[in-house]
């Protein structure tokens, strides 16, 4: 980049605010702030408390937090620190308005990218991760972020993950007590079984008859962390399972683009479903963007409906019921067939309903061309299992399935209904079985058309299409209609509205024990284990019977062992019949261990769990550890937690006062963290049932991507604009708005902007670009606008040639005072509402006013202007503050307070409209009366001209700003 504006020359002013001076100022004050510890927030007690708890009792607290970064090797671009700058501005503003502000930043450092990077470069993940953290800290330090460095940590620190493991054990050792509607220690459940207060559930022998392994198995059904065989995304090419979010829409791994298969593997899960209702309900009291709340609500997916049993006989002749979940129990009379998920238990094993031969007159289309039902079912199940999710989705339009050969009985109409299996019914939702009502569900409609199944209209269409589904193009699924054709067996729903019918039939089913009203959730339990090296080891060992035992707290942290090779073992990418080999399992000495768990069993041999936790684990509770980061006895001291996070007026569940981060974590991190928070709350470890009271999503900084004729991105910095077109090396290129990043060759780093203009300019520009929550394109050319603002600010206080302070001790004039107090008033409101873009506009207006006025700026105005700027551009503010003669930091200086007497202008502009069109403008006193104003307005020449002598029908006067005259 050119540096013409900083070119040295004889005329250059030595005290001009340019990059070199900005760099000097910024480095100097950053060192000063560090040395003085100005950002250190006192705790009420403990090692981070000030003398006698000073600073905590005498002022309100504010906990301001960022979603912490993942230290990638690529370094930061200017988009990354947007949120960090915003929270920093708000934190600084809050300090100046008298708050004890907790603001710090840690690092989320476990996870696949670090491991992959380490594999590629051949270095240990810890080495590369720590180097990345160092680089990122250096980049961030340049921005002047006011973090309490004593509270920072990385999730890979054993002192930190000791407590991640501890929380896992808390969750493992808990169960959800429906009666108390909260999690309780598993010991309370064992007591209930032992005392006989609680009986073992159906299918289990009594507690007293169970052996140790049996009891462990039973408790596993209750624990909030439990192992189970679940289908997972297995990627042989990477040698590891992947989270859903690590698999592309094409069913391939995001890294390496390898195929991903479903495989059943024994995995750890978290029973987040136990909290579905509370996770849903507690959203109401949170100050979060509606869009995010909605995403969580949809993700949790609560639906009210009913479970209904359809009698069926197994092939062996036993009586069973196919239980379905439906939200449309009102259409039960219209259920003309049933569908089970291909994996449903009633189509395999001893309880199978699949008969030996097709019933007489079975429709040819139903059999799929197979000679027997079991052949057809087996073939379909195999085909469904081999399909990836993506294929299943792609085929969604085409309904496939096959008849099981079995019939069930519709419990209200008494009719025999054929039972199918089809992959449009998912095993993981509801009961994995549906009653199909083709006339009133478009999926059932499509299936019924394909398989020539009967349809019965039981809700009279309100759109005039008639009651014969034969002529319909699609199902009638509207709720705004009445029930028809629904009578029999002492029950009639005819004439009722959908809502009335739902209630009526639910009662009827309940009375007869056929069904019951129920609530179903879409939310699934959280798969919590990964076959990777770079994650928290599970504090679990297995005995010779394969029973899992928790490590005692005294054995934490269980540190990651060294292994010969921490990379996953990879396989033929296209071979699904492989299984992962966990890196930790390669260290036999670590895996096979003799321990005394202190449970009275004495020292014996155990095998360690060799899975690791997912990268979400560390970020599930970090807001708690910032509070009390060095506590070796507890994850957080209860008093300290209550001080910073406890419930209070308007925040019934407690939590962080402001949490800023990207919207991409809407249903992952933010849901997981809420879940852990509630478990810890239930178990009495914290007073806050929610981690984040107020959430704010910052927008993305976008950048133009330039592509040549082959579609390849070209370096954006070298593209020229000519005649409305874009050129790179003489070739015409196309421009599109996209993400910023190395691969698109359009990354701009904070380092280069800081080098060119200084950190204060960068901070100001990022805050001035637009509202914080909106995405917008980066424009390096426009940065200079904020640079000029700081230069004018500087010149309003300091002589560029001598470095002398130029302010005058003379009293400011009326105009200066009004400009000042209007700015103070506006900036204060904007800052409090995170509207930093308009706050900067108001600062600019004041500064421009002072520039334009000429002459020395009155000291009282200059000082308050500096204070207004301090949260946004802290370095230049600190420098000017000291040059103005102060010896203490601007960081804790009180924010200026507006004097209402000067906030209003001396005169206001009143517009005079005729029929809503502006015809004249008047300068009037704010106190003018309506009568005076009306008379004045009517006397205006342009107004009289516009009226042209017409009669006046009405005059609307809104003194002192507006008069609107409506002619007859």
Is residue 942 a contact residue for RNA (CB under 7 A)?
yes
**Cβ closest to RNA, residue 130 vs residue 932:** 932
Rounded to a whole number of angstroms, the minimum distance from the CB of residue 818 to RNA is 14
Rounded to a whole number of angstroms, the minimum distance from the CB of residue 441 to RNA is 6
Distance CA(753)–CA(495), nearest Å, equals 71
What residue has token string 């001076």? 21
Using an 8 Å Cβ cutoff, are 940 and 919 in contact?
Answer: yes
Is residue 381 a contact residue for RNA (CB under 7 A)?
no
**Cβ closest to RNA, residue 430 vs residue 568:** 430
| Full 3-state SS string of 255-301 | CCCCECEEEEEEEEEECHHHHHHHHHHHHHHCECCHHHHHHHHHHHC
**Cβ closest to RNA, residue 142 vs residue 399:** 399
Rounded to a whole number of angstroms, the minimum distance from the CB of residue 722 to RNA is 13
How many other C-beta atoms lie within 10 A of the C-beta of residue 45? 14
Is residue 243 a contact residue for RNA (CB under 7 A)?
no
Q: Which of residues 665-694 bind RNA (CB under 7 A)?
A: 666-667
Q: Which of residues 839-868 bind RNA (CB under 7 A)?
A: 840-841, 844-845, 848, 851-852
**Cβ closest to RNA, residue 298 vs residue 802:** 298
Order of strands, edge to edge, in the sheet holding 908-914? 917-924, 908-914, 962-967, 952-958
Strands 725-728 and 720-722: antiparallel
Range in contact with RNA (rule: CB under 7 A) among 120-128, 269-277, 293-301, 491-499? 293-301
Rounded to a whole number of angstroms, the minimum distance from the CB of residue 389 to RNA is 8
Distance CA(866)–CA(357), nearest Å, equals 89
Distance CA(585)–CA(489), nearest Å, equals 63
**Cβ closest to RNA, residue 424 vs residue 538:** 424
Rounded to a whole number of angstroms, the minimum distance from the CB of residue 449 to RNA is 13
What's the Cα-to-Cα distance from 65 to each of 148, 313, 661, 695, rounded to whole Å?
11, 59, 9, 10
Strands 225-235 and 261-270: antiparallel
**Cβ closest to RNA, residue 33 vs residue 403:** 403
Range in contact with RNA (rule: CB under 7 A) among 29-37, 66-74, 421-429, 669-677? 421-429
Total residues interacting with RNA, rule: CB under 7 A: 85
Q: Which of residues 809-838 bind RNA (CB under 7 A)?
A: 835, 837-838
**Cβ closest to RNA, residue 593 vs residue 833:** 833
Question: Of 890, 646, 862, which Cα lies nearest the Cα of 93?
Answer: 890
**Cβ closest to RNA, residue 315 vs residue 936:** 936
**Cβ closest to RNA, residue 81 vs residue 430:** 430
What residue has token string 């396989």? 571
Q: Which of residues 775-814 bind RNA (CB under 7 A)?
A: 775-777, 779, 781-782, 784-786, 788-789, 791-792
Q: DSSP of 786-812, one letter per residue? A: HHHHHHHHHHTTB-TTT--B--B-SPP
Q: Which of residues 649-668 bind RNA (CB under 7 A)?
A: 663-664, 666-667
**Cβ closest to RNA, residue 449 vs residue 607:** 449
Q: Which of residues 88-117 bind RNA (CB under 7 A)?
A: none
Is residue 262 a contact residue for RNA (CB under 7 A)?
no
Rounded to a whole number of angstroms, the minimum distance from the CB of residue 277 to RNA is 16
Joined tokens for residue 630? 């060095």
Joined tokens for residue 886? 């102060």
Is residue 966 a contact residue for RNA (CB under 7 A)?
yes
Contact with RNA (CB under 7 A) among 294, 357, 519, 950: 294
Q: Which of residues 481-540 bind RNA (CB under 7 A)?
A: 520, 522
Q: DSSP of 485-517, one letter per residue? A: S-EETTEE-TT-BHHHHHHHHHHHHHHTTSEEE
- Provide CB contacts within 8 A for 468, sequence distance 6+: 457
Q: Which of residues 326-355 bind RNA (CB under 7 A)?
A: 326-328, 341
Distance CA(575)–CA(194), nearest Å, equals 48
Rounded to a whole number of angstroms, the minimum distance from the CB of residue 327 to RNA is 4
**Cβ closest to RNA, residue 521 vs residue 542:** 521
Distance CA(438)–CA(452), nearest Å, equals 11
Distance CA(157)–CA(520), nearest Å, equals 40
Using an 8 Å Cβ cutoff, are 157 and 163 in contact?
Answer: no
Distance CA(75)–CA(347), nearest Å, equals 54
Q: Which residues, in sequence order, are bridge partners of residue 738? A: 703
Contact with RNA (CB under 7 A) among 58, 178, 209, 290: 290
Contact with RNA (CB under 7 A) among 242, 505, 768, 790: 768
Which three-class secondary structure state does DSSP give residue 48? coil
Which three-class secondary structure state does DSSP give residue 929? coil
**Cβ closest to RNA, residue 231 vs residue 785:** 785
**Cβ closest to RNA, residue 429 vs residue 727:** 429
**Cβ closest to RNA, residue 120 vs residue 393:** 393
Tell me the per-residue interface mask from 721 to 760 with RNA, x by CB under 7 A, - otherwise.
----------------------------------------
Rounded to a whole number of angstroms, the minimum distance from the CB of residue 425 to RNA is 4
Joined tokens for residue 188? 């309370």
Joined tokens for residue 207? 């507690």
Is residue 964 a contact residue for RNA (CB under 7 A)?
yes
Q: Which residues, in sequence order, are bridge partners of residue 725? A: 722
Q: Which of residues 15-34 bind RNA (CB under 7 A)?
A: none
Tell me the per-residue interface mask from 43 to 82 with RNA, x by CB under 7 A, - otherwise.
----------------------------------------
**Cβ closest to RNA, residue 102 vs residue 963:** 963
Contact with RNA (CB under 7 A) among 26, 423, 609, 934: 423
Rounded to a whole number of angstroms, the minimum distance from the CB of residue 442 to RNA is 8
Contact with RNA (CB under 7 A) among 123, 127, 248, 393: 393
Q: Which long-range contacts (CB under 8 A, 24 or more apart) does 958-962 make?
A: 959/910, 959/928, 959/929, 959/930, 959/933, 960/908, 960/910, 960/924, 960/925, 960/926, 960/927, 960/928, 960/933, 961/908, 961/909, 961/910, 961/911, 962/910, 962/911, 962/912, 962/913
Strands 592-595 and 695-697: unpaired
Range in contact with RNA (rule: CB under 7 A) among 51-59, 97-105, 319-327, 886-894? 319-327
Distance CA(825)–CA(893), nearest Å, equals 17
Strands 337-340 and 416-421: parallel
- Provide CB contacts within 8 A for 102, sequence distance 6+: 41, 61, 62, 63, 64, 148, 151, 626, 627, 644
Cis before 960? omega within 30: yes
Joined tokens for residue 871? 């949260």
Distance CA(876)–CA(861), nearest Å, equals 16
Range in contact with RNA (rule: CB under 7 A) among 141-149, 348-356, 648-656, 951-959? 951-959
Range in contact with RNA (rule: CB under 7 A) among 229-237, 266-274, 291-299, 596-604? 291-299
Rounded to a whole number of angstroms, the minimum distance from the CB of residue 361 to RNA is 28
Is residue 233 a contact residue for RNA (CB under 7 A)?
no
**Cβ closest to RNA, residue 680 vs residue 957:** 957
Chain length of the chain: 968
**Cβ closest to RNA, residue 304 vs residue 572:** 304
Using an 8 Å Cβ cutoff, are 242 and 233 in contact?
Answer: yes
Rounded to a whole number of angstroms, the minimum distance from the CB of residue 74 to RNA is 21
Question: Of 561, 514, 470, which Cα lies nearest the Cα of 309?
Answer: 514
Tell me the per-residue interface mask from 428 to 457 with RNA, x by CB under 7 A, - otherwise.
xxx-x-x------x-x--------------
**Helix (H) or strand (E) run with residue 752 in it:** helix 750-757
Tell me the per-residue interface mask from 902 to 931 with RNA, x by CB under 7 A, - otherwise.
------xx-x-x-xx-x--x----------
Contact with RNA (CB under 7 A) among 257, 298, 499, 927: 298
């Amino acid at each position: 980049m050119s540096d013409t504006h900083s070119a040295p020359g004889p005329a250059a002013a030595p005290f001009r605010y340019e990059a070199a001076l900005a760099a000097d100022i910024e480095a100097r004050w950053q060192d000063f702030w560090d040395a003085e510890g100005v950002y250190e927030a006192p705790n009420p007690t403990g090692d981070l408390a000030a003398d006698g708890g000073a600073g905590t009792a005498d002022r309100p607290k504010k906990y301001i937090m960022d979603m912490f970064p993942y230290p990638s090797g690529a370094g930061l671009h200017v988009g990354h620190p947007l949120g960090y700058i915003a929270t920093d501005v708000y934190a600084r503003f809050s300090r100046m308005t008298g708050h004890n502000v907790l603001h710090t930043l840690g690092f989320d450092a476990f996870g696949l990218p670090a491991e992959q990077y380490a594999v590629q470069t051949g270095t240990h993940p810890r080495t590369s991760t720590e180097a990345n953290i160092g680089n990122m800290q250096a980049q961030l330090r340049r921005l002047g972020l006011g973090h309490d460095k004593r509270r920072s940590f990385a999730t890979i620190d054993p002192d930190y993950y000791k407590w991640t493991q501890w929380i896992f054990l808390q969750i493992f050792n808990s169960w959800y007590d429906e009666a108390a509607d909260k999690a309780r220690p598993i010991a309370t459940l064992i007591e209930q079984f032992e005392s006989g207060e609680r009986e073992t559930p159906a299918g289990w022998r009594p507690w007293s008859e169970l052996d140790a392994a049996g009891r462990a198995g039973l408790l596993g059904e209750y624990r909030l962390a439990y192992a189970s065989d679940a289908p997972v995304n297995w990627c042989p090419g990477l040698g590891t399972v992947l989270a859903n979010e690590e698999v592309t829409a094409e069913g391939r791994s995001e890294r390496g683009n390898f195929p991903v298969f479903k495989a059943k593997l024994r995995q750890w899960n978290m029973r987040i479903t136990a909290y579905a209702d509370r996770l849903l309900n507690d959203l109401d009291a949170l100050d979060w963007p509606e869009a995010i709340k909605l995403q969580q609500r949809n993700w949790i997916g609560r639906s009210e409906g009913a479970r209904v049993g359809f009698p069926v006989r197994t092939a062996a002749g036993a009586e069973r019921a196919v239980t379905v979940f439906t939200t449309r129990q009102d259409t039960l009379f219209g259920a003309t067939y049933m569908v089970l998920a291909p994996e449903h238990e009633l189509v395999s094993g001893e309880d199978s309903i699949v008969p030996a031969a097709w019933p007489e007159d079975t429709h040819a289309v139903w059999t799929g061309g197979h000679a027997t039902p079991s052949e057809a079912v087996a073939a379909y199940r195999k085909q469904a299992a081999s399909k990836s999710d993506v294929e299943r989705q792609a085929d969604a339009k085409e309904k496939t399935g096959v008849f099981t050969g079995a019939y069930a009985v519709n419990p209200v109409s008494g009719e025999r209904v054929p039972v199918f299996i089809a992959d449009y019914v998912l095993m993981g939702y509801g009961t994995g079985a549906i009653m199909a009502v083709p006339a009133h569900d478009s999926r059932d409609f499509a299936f019924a058309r394909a398989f020539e199944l009967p349809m019965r209209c039981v809700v009279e269409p309100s759109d005039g299409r008639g009651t014969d589904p034969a002529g319909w193009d699609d199902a009638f699924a509207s709720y705004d209609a009445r029930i028809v054709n629904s009578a029999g067996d002492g029950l009639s729903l005819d004439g009722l509205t959908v809502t009335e019918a739902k209630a009526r039939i639910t009662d009827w089913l309940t009375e007869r024990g056929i069904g019951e009203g129920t609530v179903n959730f879409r939310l699934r339990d959280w798969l919590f284990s990964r076959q990777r090296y770079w994650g928290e080891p599970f504090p679990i060992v297995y005995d010779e019977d394969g029973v899992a035992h928790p490590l005692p707290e005294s054995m934490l942290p269980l540190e990651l062992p060294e292994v010969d090779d921490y990379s996953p073992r990879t396989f033929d990418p296209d071979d699904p019949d492989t299984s992962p080999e966990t890196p930790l399992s390669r260290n036999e000495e670590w895996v096979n261990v003799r321990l005394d768990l202190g449970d009275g069993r004495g020292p014996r041999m155990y095998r360690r769990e060799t899975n690791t936790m997912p990268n979400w684990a560390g970020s599930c509770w970090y807001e708690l550890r910032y509070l009390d980061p060095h506590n070796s006895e507890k994850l957080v001291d209860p008093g300290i937690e209550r001080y910073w996070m406890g419930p209070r007026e308007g925040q019934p569940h407690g939590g962080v006062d402001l949490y800023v981060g990207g919207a991409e974590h809407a249903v992952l991190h933010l849901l997981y963290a809420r879940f852990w928070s509630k478990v810890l709350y239930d178990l009495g470890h914290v007073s806050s049932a929610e981690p984040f009271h107020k959430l704010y999503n910052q927008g993305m900084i976008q950048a133009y991507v330039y592509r040549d004729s082959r579609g390849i991105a070209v370096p954006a910095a070298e593209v020229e604009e000519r005649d409305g077109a874009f050129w790179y090396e003489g070739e015409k290129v196309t421009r599109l708005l996209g993400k910023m990043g190395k691969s698109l060759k359009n990354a701009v780093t904070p380092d280069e902007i800081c080098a060119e203009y200084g950190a204060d300019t960068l901070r100001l520009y990022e805050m001035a670009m637009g509202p914080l929550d909106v995405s917008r394109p980066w424009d390096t050319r426009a940065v200079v606008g904020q640079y000029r603002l700081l230069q004018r600010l500087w010149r309003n206080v300091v002589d560029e040639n001598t470095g002398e302070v130029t302010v005058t001790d003379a009293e400011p004039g009326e105009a200066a005072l009004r400009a000042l107090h209007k700015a103070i008033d506006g900036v204060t409101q904007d800052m409090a509402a995170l509207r930093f873009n308009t706050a900067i506009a108001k600062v600019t207006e004041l500064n421009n006013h002072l520039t334009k006025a000429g002459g020395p700026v009155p000291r009282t105005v200059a000082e308050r202007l500096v204070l207004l700027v301090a949260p946004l551009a802290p370095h230049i503010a600190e420098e000017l503050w000291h040059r103005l003669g102060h010896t203490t930091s601007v960081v804790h200086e009180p924010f200026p307070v507006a004097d209402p007497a000067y906030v209003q202008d001396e005169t206001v502009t009143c517009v005079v409209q005729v029929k809503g069109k502006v015809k004249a403008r008047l300068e009037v006193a704010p106190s003018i009366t309506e009568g005076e104003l009306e008379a004045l307005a009517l006397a205006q020449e342009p107004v009289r001209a516009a009226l042209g002598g017409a009669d006046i029908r009405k005059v609307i006067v809104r003194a002192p700003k507006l008069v609107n005259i409506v002619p007859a």
